[in-house]
Amino acid sequence: MLIIKRMIAAALCGAAALAAAGCAGIDEAPENSGASGSSDLKIVCSTFPAYDWARELTSGREGVEISYLLEKGTDMHSFQPTADDILKISQCDLFVYVGGESDKWAEDAIKGAANEDLRSLSLLEAIGSNAKAEEVKEGMQAEEEEEGEHQEHSDAPEYDEHVWLSVKNAKLLCEKLAEELSAIDSEHKETYTSNLSAYSEKLTRLDSDFEALAAGAKNKTLIFGDRFPFRYFTEDYGFDYYAAFVGCSAETEASFETITFLASKLDELQVKTVYTIEGSDQKIAQTIISSSKSGDTKISVLDSIQSVTQERIIAGENYISIMQKNYDTLKETLN
């Protein structure tokens, strides 16, 4: 965290320099902003779902700048903020982050913020008792811990950070986000409330579609030749799963035992699909299939929505459209 503290200090010095220079460039339209000029409401989001929800809830409210830190497609679990990222957080009105192991840096960024009125929203804290510790299922590749790491964190559960993959959580988190926006900007509370109502209806329909899909599925077990970030999703709809790694794992090589176990499950359950997440090279999935007795098993991708690139955003993708693609993939493969 020493590096982050130094970055905060550097960012604050940069902010002072900008102020001394008369805030050069302030008339430029901010990136990801709905305004044509300077912004009077600044929101920073560490992940795409939060960024997209903020866009939906502030729709129609001019003068909003929403920054998304992972727009280059960086993996959430390996992301390290730049000095510019720290500066954005330091000067924003609302910072929305996950609050898990992957962004421990965020706490220091919040403490060192130049804006004394900065409000922050941790997604994990916001869902309260719905937060789930990472689950190590039978057959999973164990993570190699760094020296001293197990002893330091042995009493503290490591929570699954992919809370947005539950549509039910998404509804709750949007409510929490609307509350924060209304507290910061009460003048536009009606806008946030109206947008929340309209967006919640869309989430409710999506949730109902997934419930109907799960109820009619012939196969309710997912085999993942990859990390498994979908625990919140599977528990919502009564699916079971087996996977190579936990959702936040840094491991990339599966052991012979893990490959063999998953291949045997493929044969035992007569499953015809092995899933991976977006960006996977699919080598583990291919090895699982080649180690099984099945000759017609295919690989399908489910999107974890953790680091959607700016190119995809420009192309019009959003939280609901990506979850709809996941629905379409499951509808095709489960039956």
Beta bridge partners of 45: 68, 96
Q: Are 292 and 263 in contact (CB under 8 A)?
A: yes
Residue type, 174: C
- Cα angle 179-33-22, degrees, rounded to a multiple of 5: 105
Q: List pLDDT tens digits, range 217-229.
A: 988 999 999 999 9
Tally Cβ neighbours within 10 Å of residue 249: 21
Residue 107 has pLDDT above 50, yes or no: yes
- Cα angle 204-177-114, degrees, rounded to a multiple of 5: 160
Residue 259 has pLDDT above 80, yes or no: yes
Looking at the structure, do residues 108 and 240 belong to the same domain, yes or no?
Answer: no
Q: List pLDDT tens digits, range 283-327.
A: 999 999 999 998 789 999 999 998 899 999 999 999 999 999 999
d(CA 165, CA 162): 6
- Mean pLDDT is lowest, of 32-41, 194-203, 215-224, 319-328, for 32-41
Q: Which among 179, 123, 164, 132 has a CA at the least distance from the CA of 320? A: 164
d(CA 164, CA 127): 10
Confidence at 145, pLDDT banded by 50, 70, 90: low
Looking at the structure, do residues 104 and 237 belong to the same domain, yes or no?
Answer: no
Looking at the structure, do residues 189 and 276 belong to the same domain, yes or no?
Answer: no
Residue 129 has pLDDT above 90, yes or no: yes
Residue 179 has pLDDT above 90, yes or no: yes
Residue 5 has pLDDT above 80, yes or no: no
d(CA 105, CA 77): 12
Domain of residue 115 covers 2-129+159-204
Please give the average per-residue pLDDT across 163-169, as a whole number: 98
CATH number at residue 241: 3.40.50.1980
Looking at the structure of the chain, the number of domains it has is 2
